[in-house]
Amino acid sequence: AQRVTQPEKLLSVFKGAPVELKCNYSYSGSPELFWYVQYSRQRLQLLLRHISRESIKGFTADLNKGETSFHLKKPFAQEEDSAMYYCALSPNASGGSYIPTFGRGTSLIVHP
């Protein structure tokens, strides 16, 4: 069974401080990992995916297969980063239907 764990329900930091949103997963195969973000009154949107290895809005996330983690990091938080962040896992299937799994989400609040 696949599972995504986000241990922190709420993360509160001051502007300019480093941020790390934790995500651990369990999956027997080789999954695809994503971070989605939901800003206030907006729809969920993709922030980044591990396959592309890119940095979006200063955020990065490295897939650590040994620790089965995909933590989201940013060296200097900004107030506009305040949002709900969801870690998600998708089985790396070759095609056909699949069931994605989302973590419970972490609310990030960045204080001025």
Of 81, 82, 101, 80, nearest in space to 90 by CA: 101
Query: CA 63 to CA 9: how far, in whole Å?
Result: 21
Residues 57-96 that bind other proteins (CB under 8 A): 84, 86, 88, 90, 92-95
Residues near other proteins (CB under 8 A), total: 28
With H, G, I as helix, E, B as strand and everything else as coil, classify residue 88. strand
| DSSP strand pairing (106-111 vs 83-91) | antiparallel
**Least spacing, CB of residue 76 vs other proteins, in Å:** 26
- How many CB atoms lie under 10 A from the CB of residue 8? 16
Q: Of residues 2, 68, 102, 109, which one binds other proteins by CB under 8 A?
A: 102
26 near other proteins (CB under 8 A): no
Q: Of residues 44, 69, 78, 82, which one binds other proteins by CB under 8 A?
A: 44
What dihedral angle (degrees, nearest 10) is formed by the CA atoms of 87, 91, 44, 58?
50
Residue closer to other proteins by CB (options 78, 107) is 107
Residue closer to other proteins by CB (options 74, 101) is 101
Give the footprint of other proteins on this chain (CB under 8 A).
Answer: 32, 34, 36, 42-46, 49, 51-52, 84, 86, 88, 90, 92-95, 97-100, 102-105, 107
